[in-house]
Amino acid sequence: MAPRIGVVLFPGTNCEHDAVQAVERLGGTAELVWHGATSTSGYDALILPGGFAHGDYLRPGAIARFSPVMDAVATYAAGGGPVIGICNGFQVLTEAGLLPGALQKNRGLRFLCTTTTVRVERDDTALTAGVPVGTELSIPINHFEGNYTCDAATLAELRAEGRIVLRYVDNPNGSVDDIAGVCNAGRNVVGLMPHPERASDPLLGSVDGVVLLRALLETARAATPAA
């Protein structure tokens, strides 16, 4: 059966259709899940896509954290369900406490819209299962607040537990330790600033994002839907 992916939609999200298309081109089925939903059961994985949830007012993700769907996402994640946050979705997951750290304004105070090279650091997360460590992927970023930061103890923990999932080869935004993506202790919740769905078709200039999205679909296929 094709894995069924829920794509969470907040007011101000704007990458949901890109995510749906990318999933469907790879043989998955994708459905939009409105932020007012109180359950995400029945999905094999969830994607929190990019955009400006709730206008990014206060801080990116700060208001989205209080959307009803986030309690359901937290329950889903606690049950082991794969949850991927892309760009604004990553910011939402950190604000919600499902991932550690925070995304602050880019070093240099520039909005960055460019293609980056990221290196896969782990082959055992929901987004990178089976992807050889060291694989370099060309994937675009599109953000103002993508500069990952956390306190020294958290960084030490992320390193020791192998929870840095992706690193920039040439750090574009000042992220500590070149971090482009991290995961939770269970390795089922992954957040990343680059947009794999925007590198999923030759027309987009790169198909490297397919490597990650295909890994997610494989994870979803193997996952028992969480309650």
Partner 1 sequence: MGPIQQFSVQVEVLLRAGIADPQGATIERALPALGLDGVTAVRAGKSFRFDLAAADESDALAQATVVADRLLANPVIEDSQVTVRPAGAPA
DSSP-H helix ranges across the chain: 16-25, 69-78, 88-95, 152-160, 209-222
Of 47-55, 113-121, 149-157, 193-201: span binding partner 1 (CB under 8 A): 149-157
What is the bridge-based pairing of β-strands 83-86 and 136-143? Answer: unpaired
Report if residue 106 touches partner 1, rule: CB under 8 A.
Answer: yes
Per-position DSSP letters for 97-137, written without gaps between them: TSSSSEEEPPTTS--EEEEEEEEE--SSSTTTTTPPTT-EE
Selected catalytic residue, list 16, 54, 87, 121 = 87
The dihedral through the CA atoms of 130, 114, 181, 153 has a sign that is positive
Of 28-36, 95-103, 180-188, 215-223: span binding partner 1 (CB under 8 A): 95-103
Question: Quick one: tokens of 182?
Answer: 């991290």
Instruction: Check if 197 is active-site.
Output: yes
| Site residues (CB under 8 A) for partner 1, limited to 32-91 | 58-59, 62
Q: Which of 4, 107, 119, 221 binds partner 1 (CB under 8 A)?
A: 107
Instruction: Check if 95 is active-site.
Output: no
Selected catalytic residue, list 16, 121, 145, 197 = 197
Report if residue 105 touches partner 1, rule: CB under 8 A.
Answer: yes
Q: Which of 135, 149, 171, 206 binds partner 1 (CB under 8 A)?
A: 149
Minimum CB distance to partner 1 smaller for 42 or for 108: 108
| Site residues (CB under 8 A) for partner 1, limited to 162-201 | 174
What angle in degrees, to the nearest 10, is found between the helix axes of 16-25 and 209-222?
A: 70
Q: How far apart (Å, rounded) are the C-alpha atoms in residues 205 and 32?
A: 26
Active site residues: 87, 195, 197
Positions touching partner 1 (CB under 8 A) are 58-59, 62, 94-95, 101-102, 104-109, 147, 149-151, 174
